[in-house]
Amino acid sequence: MVTRKLLFVSLMALLSADALSSAALANSQEEIEARIRELNSELYQLRRQLHDAKTSDNTSSTSISFDMQPEEIAREDLNERRQWEQESTRNPFAVTTHRTNYLFPISYNSRQNEENFKNVSTDSSPGSNEVKFQLSVKVNLAEDIFGEVGDVYFGYTQRSWWQAYNTDASSPFRETNYEPEIFIDFDNAWSALGWVNTRNRVSFNHQSNGRSDPLSRSWNRVYLESTFQRGDWALTLAPHWRVPESDSDDDNPDIERYMGYGDIRLAKRLNNNHEVSAQWRGNPNADHHGVQLDYSWPAFGNLRAHMQYYYGYGESMIDYDNSVHRLSIGFSLNPLFSATGLNR
């Protein structure tokens, strides 16, 4: 009897020890994975600092023999972005940045659309200087829906042009564009001629200004966006197809004559985390174009000083067929070359 009790106690002790060992192992695995992510992030930052230090010190006679190759830089950026997004998916309430978030207290347009502004305010004309800002976030809905690839997101972007200094017209919002979308991201790492295709995206996108006639503007699109990176260069191609609408529902039947059939953007990361980019959209057959130039650099904390220049058609829904000439100065939050960057 005593022997049976001893055997039973021994068995229970072994089972308890095994359970504790499994729990400890699970905790240990989670801690190891978390530590690996931290080390990868630290390694990436150290490599970036080393790269910036070498390129900025042109007068130094000492050369560093283990410079990162362009494809390595692109893959490091891709790995860091994956780590951040994997962290966010572990929190069901996590919201991450989508496109660039910015605030421009100074946004001067020498070609304001006075005709459309009469429907906003009959008391005065639009001021040339206004406040322009953009808020853009996304949330992960599902991941790896096609085996090990295919992450589904809901994204929302809101861009506003606020006549804050036009007190004669009671400082109205001249225009606000609302842009919800559902998209699937496919991370990639294949390369050709030194360019790494870091991401492909398929999106269903709605864009409108939430107005009633005669100011109502809206359209639905399906776009394919592909990003290619070579070291500190990034090229994004985003062709789109407009979803057809009936004539009675179409607020802007000629929008493709001005907005064209997609966007192209080329970006460059400079020394000390400065960034410059150029984006083009338009319809060459109709001789309608829109060009946006951005330049940003670290200011203080997480804020970046930001300058933006836009010339041509398609800056906003209300001005898709009105050529603007705008210079904006202010601040932005998320750089293009970051874990959540390389978005329009």
Please name every residue paired with 97 in a beta bridge, in sequence order, or none if there are none.
137
Backbone angles phi, psi at 188, to 5 degrees: -145, 165
- Alpha carbon of residue 45 to chain centroid: 20
Other CB atoms closer than 10 Å to residue 4's CB: what's the count? 8
Rounded-to-integer distance, Cα 315 and Cα 277, Å:
16
Is 248 labelled as part of a ligand binding site? no
Catalytic residue among 121, 208, 226, 323: 208
CB-facing half-sphere around the CA of 212: CA atoms within 13 A? 0
**Can 206 be counted among the known catalytic residues?**
yes
Is 323 labelled as part of a ligand binding site? no
Q: 3-state DSSP call for residue 92? A: coil
Is 277 labelled as part of a ligand binding site? no
Contact at 8 Å (CB) between 267 and 234?
A: yes
Is 170 labelled as part of a ligand binding site? yes
Q: 3-state DSSP call for residue 111? A: coil
Catalytic residue among 41, 160, 191, 206: 206
Give me 181's structure tokens.
């979308």
Q: Which residues contact 25 (CB under 8 A, 6 or more apart)?
A: none
**Can 125 be counted among the known catalytic residues?**
no
Residue 154 to residues 128, 139, 337, Cα–Cα distance (Å): 35, 5, 22
Other CB atoms closer than 10 Å to residue 287's CB: what's the count? 8
Residues annotated as catalytic (active site), given as ranges: 206, 208
Q: Residue ranges for the binding site for Ca(2+)?
A: 170, 211, 216, 251
> Which residue ranges make up the annotated binding site?
170, 211, 216, 251
